[in-house]
């Protein structure tokens, strides 16, 4: 099996472990292509998530021309759209944005659980990282409070995971 050749710029030595290296977390978005899918159901929340996400992507250095946005009717339509984007080979990472707010029926659990499960399936089958920004909230107030921080967090997660997977692929 042998020792992998790890490019020095991608790792940092761990002080307490001799000869053990850790990949540095990188939030450098320059040169990355990010795809975003936003649900129009609970559109005000979706737009808030999208605004925070795109602002953070730009702050991290992702160029406008490298951000693609698709909107879909609801959270259950997000995974199929992300799968199509992942299969295109055009994107380094993807972001799912939306809000599922509890109502009076069991539908909340179905949509929340199935959309999350499907995102994980797409991510694992495609090898393209997906930041899950589909909020699952008890009410509108919770969603409003979480949309800005979660949108920005998804941008950072997408960039970091894209960089990590690129670094892992560079190891021979």
Do residues 98 and 146 lie in contact, with contact meaning Cβ atoms separated by under 8 Å? no
Give the active site residue among 14, 40, 90, 107.
Answer: 107
Give every CB contact of residue 114 below 8 A, 6+ residues apart in sequence: 76
Sole residue written with tokens 């250095």? 61
Which whole-number Å values give the CA distances from 32 to 40, 49, 113, 163, in the listed order?
26, 20, 30, 9
Q: Measuring CA to CA, which residue among 145, 123, 127, 163 is closest to residue 23?
A: 163
Tally of CB atoms within 10 A around 59 = 13
The helix/strand/coil state of 1 is coil
Distance of alpha carbon 40 from its chain centroid, rounded?
Answer: 18
Please indicate whether residue 107 is annotated as part of the active site: yes
CA–CA separation, 80 vs 39, rounded Å? 12
- Which residues are tagged catalytic? 107
């Amino acid at each position: 099996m042998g020792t992998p050749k790890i490019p020095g710029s991608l790792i940092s030595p761990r002080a307490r472990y001799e000869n053990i290296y850790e990949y540095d977390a990188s939030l450098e978005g320059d040169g990355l292509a990010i795809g975003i899918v936003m649900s129009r159901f609970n559109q005000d929340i979706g737009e808030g998530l999208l605004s925070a996400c795109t602002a953070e992507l730009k702050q991290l250095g992702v160029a406008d021309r490298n951000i693609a946005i698709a909107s879909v009717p609801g959270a259950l339509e997000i995974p199929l759209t992300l799968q199509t984007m992942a299969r295109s080979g055009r994107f380094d990472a993807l972001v799912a944005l939306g809000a599922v707010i509890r109502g009076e029926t069991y539908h909340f659990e179905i949509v929340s659980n199935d959309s999350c499960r499907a995102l994980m399936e797409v991510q694992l089958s495609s090898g393209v990282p997906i930041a899950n920004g589909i909020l699952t909230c008890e009410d509108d107030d919770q969603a409003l409070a979480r949309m800005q921080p979660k949108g920005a967090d998804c941008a950072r997660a997408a960039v970091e995971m894209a960089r990590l997977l690129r670094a892992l692929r560079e190891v021979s």
